[in-house]
């Protein structure tokens, strides 16, 4: 399974969100709950967009948004999670 990040997404992660690829990989490794599917109409993709919240190795909570395709993960975005997103995630996501 490979993490795929487009040049435009990589630039946005760095410039706008101050998030790097290592932090995203740490979040995948440190995940304690299942992913949720983004059901908002303007975010629909095929296959569906999934997201989760997890901590980096230094405790930074990030929301990671991606689309799984076959054995690859296509990153859409990742950024520091806000309180509403954290609440929603831990309310609905099952522990793994």
Span 35-79, pLDDT tens digits:
999 888 887 788 999 999 999 999 999 999 999 999 999 999 999
pTM score: 0.94
Total domains in the chain come to 1
Region of 47 please: left (phi>0), alpha (psi -120 to 50) or beta: beta
Residue 85, judged by CB atoms within 10 A of its CB (0-12, 13-18, 19+), counts as: middle
Tell me which of 19-23, 43-47, 84-88 is least confident.
Answer: 43-47
Q: What is d(CA 79, CA 19) in angstroms, rounded to the nearest whole number?
A: 7
Structural element, H or E, at residue 22: helix 21-30
**Where in the sequence is the domain holding 55, given as residue range(s)?**
2-92
């Amino acid at each position: 399974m490979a993490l795929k990040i487009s040049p435009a997404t990589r630039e946005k992660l760095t410039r706008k969100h101050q998030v790097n690829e290592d932090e995203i990989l740490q979040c995948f490794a440190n995940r304690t709950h299942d992913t949720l599917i983004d059901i908002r109409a303007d975010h629909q993709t095929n296959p569906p967009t999934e997201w989760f919240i997890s901590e980096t190795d230094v405790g930074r909570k990030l929301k990671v948004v991606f689309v799984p395709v076959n054995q690859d993960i296509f990153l859409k975005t990742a950024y520091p999670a806000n309180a509403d997103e954290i609440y929603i995630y831990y309310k609905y996501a099952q522990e793994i």
